[in-house]
Structure 1
């Protein structure tokens, strides 16, 4: 009897391996459930006001530069950049394969729009100061200047030029802050305040927003349009407020 049972088990295992059903079932989806110190107030990068939203927004969006595992600066939405000899002009080359989650390209105009939106007094961004080193940014934010006077310019679709008021050695570090990330103008123009809702949010990061049940969980799923999607190992990330 035992001998027959062992034979049957061995046959079933061989069959499962041959058909792939064994591995398909075991590795169907990789889910990461992580705690969040408190409920996020928003996932709009320019409306963020607490540290609770930082990790969430970093998963959904990607700025020009980012940190690696050791907090070293590495390319993000920009694949490279140069700095003028006097330290005041930064020229970023965006990735040509950078896409929004709706499949449209991430362009230099998206960053111009987003930097203007962050500084626009109407946005009331609590972290507007992240771009104060940029020429004209503080004046626009404090109603002493205009958006067009800010030192941000799209040279072409993949080239963004940022001019600072004075040399600022820590400027690139400031660009890792979630408030400086780009947003999708077409989505905001079309949906207004609803642009951040699950299933509607257009983002350029490793994940898209699938569900948001207040005080329960926020679910993100892998973004297949992300330029480095092949390196994203987690299929689902659930943020659970604790």
Structure 2
């Protein structure tokens, strides 16, 4: 077996002039992985390179794959993902993955920027302030997830209502309202992070529905699952497919 021409060309697009040490130490493994990831998998997904890199970065943050994230971040920049978009992917991960996990990735992002001569401080993208973040967040979440937060505010025990408030003002008011990425992309990123985390099935189902609400199709999400499979493995992939079919059944 050898790395086939298509896989090599797709790999070189992301990593020009890169010589993998695995070709010397683990040639059989790298041939299997590259032929699968950079050729076979791509035949079953219509996702473009730009979005593929964005959802891969989101997935790697969720799984705590710091070294692979740094490599794929450089690849993302090579094919046109902007520094602002990369920063927004990292920020978007905070409400879903938690700062405890994201902290190292923010530092790594800044390190990669500096190593490439890019300014680690990108232009601000916030559109809300302390006075309107709750109102704008509630409006945003209603457009994405319907009345789910309103129901939490109404029905949750008094000592738990603040979690619904946090969803409105922090998760959606502070993050989803930001510029730099559109809402369709943010929902795809959230879906990617949740299926990569594992153990968040109710949230995955909620964001499958949210994706459809903002105009992303089931096929869009299947394409994401397909390109993430080599990174997240089969158990989480098959769980994601089962949840997709549960929320959006196939029509025969």
Q: TM-score, normalised by structure 1?
A: 0.24
Structure in which a larger fraction of residues adopt helix: 2
Higher Rg: 1
